A and B are shown apart, each in its own frame.
Chain A
Amino acid sequence: MTTNARTCPVRSFSVATLLAIVLLPGAPARAADTGDTPPIPDTLQQRIAACTSCHGVHGEGRPGSGYFPRLAGKPAGYLARQLQDFQNGLRKYAPMEYTVRQLPPAYMREIAEYFAVQQVPYARSPLPPVSAATLARGEELIAKGDPARKIPACSSCHGSQLTGVEPSTPGLVGLPYDYISAQLGSWRTHTRATVAPDCMAEVASRLGESDITAVAAALASRELPADTHAQPAGSVTPPLSCGVLGATGDPS
């Protein structure tokens, strides 16, 4: 009967159609008199067209645009947290706030898990012209940080390969330069925030403009590791206490 409902043009409300609707609640819905319009699949992918039109059907993002970040493969805990932060106005971007404003936690979690398990190849984005010295400074911040200014290394939280750490720390590789530098700027101007203690806000506040350019350029120009999956939970010991990782105290 599934086949029947999928392939036969439904021109009248026949007994078979009625049975198909009653017996198969998951059967694709379609307008009663349109054999020529493809049926609407009852899938999460279909339901979240509002997400995939910008972030891609598999969360691949739009690398060429500089914004609309890749979601595929990011830890589900991280993605769900971002949706909550947009909903609560901690993270500011009007179209995202509008889109997620009503969504219940269970649905946001389901959407986060959908993107977390997607596996699509990374695409490279264009880099602005930066000097070798800038790139070297960026690499230094990534690997060692700047202890004199209490800036921890990116890798100390985001993983040795910068592919993120389960369940809540995002990867930093394969993101466009424009996106990374805009996010670091947003942390500094408080248009991006998360639950306290907001350790990333602390780190960003210690970065200068030139540091942001350097680290964003270095991250965006990095070769991707062979394994781009996030590291297992508990495989790093963050130097700051972070609300997103369950801490409740002071960030530093």
Chain B
Amino acid sequence: MKWLRWLVPSVALLVVLALGWVLFGGSRSRPTPPVASKVVAATLRDPALIAKGEYLAAVGDCAGCHTEQGGARYAGGRALATPFGNIPVPNITPDRVTGLGDWSFEDFWQALHSGKGRHGELLYPAFSYTSYTKVNHDDALAIFAYLQSLAPVHQPAVAPALAFPYSVRNSLKAWRALYFREGEFKPDPAQSAEWNRGAYLVQGLGHCNECHAARDMLGGTPQDVHLTGGQIPMQNWYAPDLSARKNGGLEGWSAQDIVDLLKTGQSAKGVAFGPMAAVVSGSTQHISDTDLRAIASYLQSLPPRAPMAEPGTPFDARTLSTQGEKVYAKHCADCHGKRGEGVAGVYPPLDGNSSVTEPTGINATRMVLLGGFAPVTAANQRPYSMPPFAQQLSDGEVAAVVTYIRRAWSNKALIVRAEAVSDYRHTPVD
């Protein structure tokens, strides 16, 4: 009867698609030529505006997606893998043929704010306009001025490879009706200026919620789900909950801990790794101390979370943990400490570390398999690293040691089985 579980959502999807088509049927707009733009060319050449845009482009980590491995920055040329197919990442340098050279600010604003291309075509939300819509006009203008100041790079986009019905752009009408609320960030007058600045950056340009919230089967995040953590589709890492209060993923983190992690890649509570290591290196280390404190202030205001159900003790948990304790003593304790306390500034603690205890066990498992360097930042240019254990430990040994660290000391998370380790061993590294 497994197919029944898929039938209902599939039918629902088709109904929603059809409705979207009928309700929001085809209007297309024309591009605004740069000469007809309200923004004069001299404005876009203002060095102060360009400098501001460069900073904001770093905050938004635009280069993180819009740069191919080994390629020119912002020149696109790669495809972003999604559960619905591969979506080409465009060139946003001012090349006239393959980039934004012929774009006006109005075109750019329509993309960033409304999620529509130059010709009014609906953009795939792999471009996180669900967040960028909150960016205000002045900041968008600065980013546009910066992008237009780059050296043009001629690089055509790769071809899209999306499965039906996602290959039909108008199917996005239904998606947008469900998940997209267009509108700039509205400050909350009851909160401080610092809090509002943090909320603006986290919800808008920072697009933190795009990873740090679970997506449903249509790849959307319901409007009321905010930074509660989720598995990142395709990449298969778990982006933890970001509440610093009771039962939150950052429970016990001070504002300074949050600032430290974003600035240097590590804090007394943990080290950024996987996709977050790239975010720290490419983006957050460049954020000003004032803005980082604002971000921390906002994250610290996120509400407490409901306690996770206390996991039962499966019959094999004790065996796994006992075996894992031996693996831990042999391979892990020298760096992470016998009690999982870590070494300040060098190796992260594992006790009370939400990346160890997150619901899925993916992060700890993949860290054991892959190892790797802590993020490279101006504050940590020669980071320490962890050996990859994929070659040294069997699936069973990895499952045992991960189960041990998830249940030792004050940690109380679910066990990880060898079958899951086998899956993650074959997850593509990207």
Contact = CB atoms under 8 A, between A and B. Distances in A.
A54 B343 CA distance: 24
A31 B334 CA distance: 11
Nearest to A38: B334
A53 B388 CA distance: 7
A37 B337 contact: yes
B334 A47 contact: no
B387 interface: yes
B28 interface: no
B429 A98 contact: yes
A110 B337 CA distance: 28
B341 to A, nearest CB: 5
B357 interface: no
Contacts of B392: 53
**Majority DSSP secondary structure for residues of B touching A:** loop
B70 interface: yes
Of B335, B339, B341, B346, most A-chain CB atoms within 10 Å: B346
Nearest to A48: B385
Given A31-B344, A89-B70, A107-B381, A50 B337 contact: no
Contacts of B346: 29, 40
A120 to B, nearest CB: 19
Interface string B330-355: 00011101110111111100000000
B277 interface: yes
B387 A49 contact: yes
Contacts of A49: 335, 371, 384-387
Contacts, number: 99
Contact of B343 (A30, A51, A53, A97): A30
A50 B386 contact: yes
Interface in A63-101: 68, 87-90, 94-95, 97-99, 101
B43 interface: no
Interface residues of A, number: 37
Contacts of B335: 40, 49
B191 interface: no
Interface stretch (B199-207, B240-248, B372-380, B402-410): B372-380
B344 A29 contact: yes
B371 A107 contact: no
A22 interface: no
Given A95-B429, A102-B375, A50 B381 contact: no
B384 A102 contact: no
Contacts of A94: 428-429
Contacts of B277: 102
Contacts of A33: 341
B376 A104 contact: yes
A233 interface: no
A130 interface: no
A85 to B, nearest CB: 9
B69 A88 contact: yes
A46 B343 CA distance: 13
Contacts of B370: 95, 98-99
Interface in A97-119: 97-99, 101-104, 106-107, 110
A44 B385 CA distance: 10
B387 A29 contact: no
Interface string B137-181: 000000000000000000000000000000000000000000000
Contacts of A37: 333-334, 337-338
A95 B390 contact: yes
B373 A103 contact: yes
Of A94, A95, A107, most B-chain CB atoms within 10 Å: A95
Contacts of B334: 37-38
A40 B345 CA distance: 11
A32 interface: yes
A46 B335 CA distance: 10
Given A40-B343, A89-B69, A102-B277, A53 B371 contact: yes
B382 interface: yes
B278 interface: yes
Interface string A33-64: 11011101000101111111110000000000
Interface of B: 69-70, 277-278, 281, 333-335, 337-339, 341-347, 370-373, 375-376, 381-392, 428-429
16 contacts: A29-B346, A32-B341, A37-B333, A40-B343, A47-B382, A48-B385, A53-B389, A87-B69, A89-B70, A95-B390, A102-B278, A102-B281, A103-B373, A103-B376, A104-B381, A107-B381
Given A37-B338, A54-B387, 15 more contacts: A31-B343, A40-B335, A40-B343, A40-B346, A47-B383, A50-B385, A53-B389, A54-B391, A68-B391, A87-B70, A94-B429, A95-B370, A99-B373, A99-B388, A104-B381
Interface of A: 29-34, 36-38, 40, 44, 46-54, 68, 87-90, 94-95, 97-99, 101-104, 106-107, 110
Going nearest first, the 9 A-B pairs with the smallest beta carbon separation are A88-B70, A53-B387, A50-B385, A89-B69, A98-B429, A94-B429, A102-B376, A89-B70, A31-B341
